[in-house]
């Protein structure tokens, strides 16, 4: 189970943020194109940054705590998912805060 540690953390982040969509009706997931255009540049920049750090030997991942699915260049799937999940959670939190403060 330890090799799913990264995924469990990401699932916890999603669980803590996804309820905002139906309860507060923030509409983030309904505007999926806008969300994609927001998250995609973040994913691209940080994937490239991680790949450069891995290639330079500055950054590694504990294979015991990741799923073992690794892209060329040594980047685990878990890390790529991190670059998607965390921004989505941040956007959900931001939009929920805006909605609550508008009332």
Residue with tokens 């991680």: 50
- Using alpha carbons only, what angle is made at residue 54 by residues 58 and 65, rounded to the nearest 5 degrees? 95
pTM tops 0.75, yes or no: yes
- Is 90 exceeded by the pLDDT of residue 2? no
Cα gap 66→87, rounded to integer Å: 20
Cα gap 103→98, rounded to integer Å: 9
Cα separations in angstroms, 68 against 25, 46, 89, 94, 103: 36, 20, 24, 33, 46
Residue ranges of the domains in the chain? 2-9+31-102
Mean pLDDT, the chain, whole residue set: 95
Position 103 scores a pLDDT of 67
Mean per-residue pLDDT, 89-97: 97
Cβ atoms of 26 and 94 within 8 Å: the answer is no
The CA dihedral of 53, 57, 61, 64, to the nearest 10 degrees, is 170
As a whole-number percent, the residues of the chain with pLDDT over 90 amount to 91
74 pLDDT tier (thresholds 50, 70, 90): very high
Answer left, alpha or beta for residue 74, where phi above 0 means left and psi between -120 and 50 means alpha.
left
Per-residue pLDDT tens over the stretch 24-67: 999 999 999 999 999 999 999 999 999 999 999 999 998 888 99
1 pLDDT tier (thresholds 50, 70, 90): confident
């Amino acid at each position: 189970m330890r090799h799913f540690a990264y995924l469990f953390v990401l699932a916890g982040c999603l669980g803590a943020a996804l309820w905002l969509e139906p309860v507060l009706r923030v509409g983030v997931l309904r505007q999926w194109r806008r969300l994609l255009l927001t998250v995609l540049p973040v994913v691209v920049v940080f994937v490239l940054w991680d790949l450069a750090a891995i290639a330079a030997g500055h950054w590694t991942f504990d294979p015991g705590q990741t799923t073992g699915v690794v892209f060329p260049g040594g980047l685990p799937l878990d890390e790529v998912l991190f670059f998607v999940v965390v921004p989505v959670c941040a956007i959900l939190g931001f939009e929920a805060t805006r909605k609550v403060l508008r009332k």
